[in-house]
Structure 1
Amino acid sequence: MNQRVLITGSEGLIGRVVRESLSEQGFVVKGFDIRGKGSEKGDVRDATSVADAMTSCDGVLHLAAVSRVVWGERDPELCWTTNVGGLMNVLNAGKKQNRLPWIIFASSREVYGQPVVLPATEDTPLMPMNVYARSKVEGERLVQLAREYGLRTSIVRLSNVFGRTSDHVDRVVPAFARAAVAGASLRVDGADHTFDFTHVEDVSRGIVSLIQRMVDGGEGLAPIHFVSGKATTLGELAALAIEFAKSQSTVISAPPRHFDVARFYGAPIRAKSALNWVPQVPLREGLSRLIADFEHEAYSPSNTLSAT
Structure 2
Amino acid sequence: SPYESYIAVAEALNRLTPGDHDKKSALFNSGAEAVENAVKIARKYTGKQAIVAFDHGYHGRTNLTMALTAKSMPYKSGFGPFAPEVYRAPGSYPLRDGLSGPDAAARAITLIDKQVGADNLAAVIIEPIQGEGGFIVPADGFLPAIADWCRANGVVFIADEVQSGFARTGAMFASDLFGIVPDLVTTAKGIAAGMPLAAVTGRAEIMDAAHVGGLGGTYGGNPVACAAALAALEAFENDGLVERAQQIEQLLRGRLEPLAAADPRIGEVRGRGAMMAMEFVDPETGAPDATLTAAVAKSAIAEGV
What is the TM-score when the length of structure 1 is the normalising length?
0.35
Give the number of the structure with larger relative contact order, counting CA–CA contacts within 8 Å between residues 6 or more apart: 2
What is the TM-score when the length of structure 2 is the normalising length?
0.35
